[in-house]
Structure 1
């Protein structure tokens, strides 16, 4: 959890840019759709960007204590103080104001008992989680029912906080994808850093204080951009050339992709259960993209223009034994050298059947650029192949 404390120092998020990406979000697959295919946030991204564990116990509890009991049992409040806290609107349902936590658990004194110090530590961790991993739409509350997970401070590190953060963000991207949604929850610094890692043409600013031992989220300065709009970013993303995208930005930071990144199945953040489908974004692991298997079907779903409610089955055996649920080895074919965007010939035609790969309609290209047609895309690939052949004597490759 310690890396989260340093990540929040640059906490501004560009709402225009985020909105342009949300327009491309397909919650059925938990991926963004572009004219060259799907991309999405993976456990590999979370591991590098946040620097927290993605593998561990699922983050949820079946504890049925009331808000009053939770305040008393885990934060050391008396019954009367707990009741007054709830009556003061510092608590709404099972959510407590972050400002209340900050005000009442700011610092310990030398006279505090060990038990009291532990309560302060729980309050601090709850505050950090509420500001980062499980940030709600308002940014001002955090769920009290997380407290049972913080009961034993030595066990906090055994949870897969990174995977739960991803599940929480997945769900809130789904909420935000509805037409009249105005606010988004989740750890937006994770999303912003992911955009910066994979889309350098959006001109992210590097933090001069960054060092390689820090999480990648610290590599970027999140700043306001004047004169931009959703329409601007929409055109930029529609006009993207496939070779402008960095599919695997971490390849020089690791020897191999962690097996957990290839886990396929449900991930969980408290009551939210979301499908994690790395087979849809294999190029982000340096692998050839092929047509993936069908996405996981929810038990119940209501996905209207203005409503979003889904319930996925939580199968404990999947996440507790992830090594039995990985993308098969025979589906992990490396991309050809110099062609990180490589996919099978049938992939793009298959995707175009159900995916709106461009969002803007009739918009002029950005900076006078013309969208890259299929023939030009082929020319780019052939050019890379030709350079790879070099002086091997294998001849030239021509466009038929």
Structure 2
């Protein structure tokens, strides 16, 4: 039975809801009946097409059958009308998608920051409202828009900033998630490089256990997100996302106190990548995501100083980062996360899902169950080209070298050194 938004607000005050999301939830959950007040909650595809008018979106197009990097796709621009005409196989010969077949290809427009994309249609920014989640001033301007066809996906990755609320508006998406402590089982890589995204080399839809044997020890969580549902993704949870049918979704990343520390780590990674990629990237390879670009060393160093200053001010104000999940070690360990489990902090997660009928936990699966769900139809498909190290005698060690330079252990050493130096310098300055 659907629960009305007014009833939800009676059960849980906005501020309590915000605290629940930011401080209490330790694992992914699904909220139901929470976006009924959204102006777009009852919109059909035709309503989105009408609202977006002739606005052009950036789409990437690739063959179905296996996950792909963003660089391994063609890029086109088209309207939602053109996109859905293509999905329904009614596209005109003049369509930019005419040379692709929806039976063999998928098409995805992702990471559309609504404040920029809908700048010419500002009223769309008002059809999204995260007030019922405790974020009263967060609307479309602070949200991101996604639209994709069946098979469209993002490779398995981890976001280093914030937690995530994802509202499924039209169609269905399957989410495969892994907890932060699974990092050693997911073979993380910073190539291709993208700030705040750490990718997994594993093809989760068809894992090659001879290349990635530790993956069988991972702890997958799987949920199919239905229209009207909202998924909460905690900070640092890995996820592979795939459209099961033509889909529209909207998300917002919620900033956390610990993000300032994460930004410092990412600034160090960017500094290293800025120096290393131009030197070591083979001519035939692209080690930077199409949506990312390297900046000058001067700009990177300036950013490091800003982050250090912000972090220092944060600590002086005694803003404790209780939500912070510690960087993982070389063995994949995550001590702070482990302590949360041992002290029963995740019990609050169980309490929440039993306390409120409109919050359901995302189920965890055994590896065998996971294979039956995600890999049953992919047994004859080849693994991800380029997601694992190439057989090239040159590329393998070069990628290993770069990934070693930006390994969390190394980055944390640099961060600790920078923090200590900056703190000492600031202290001496204050004395004077």
Which protein has the bigger strand share? 2
Superposition TM-score tier, normalisation by shorter sequence: under 0.3
Relative to the length of structure 2, the TM-score reads: 0.25
Which protein has the bigger helix share? 1
Relative to the length of structure 1, the TM-score reads: 0.26
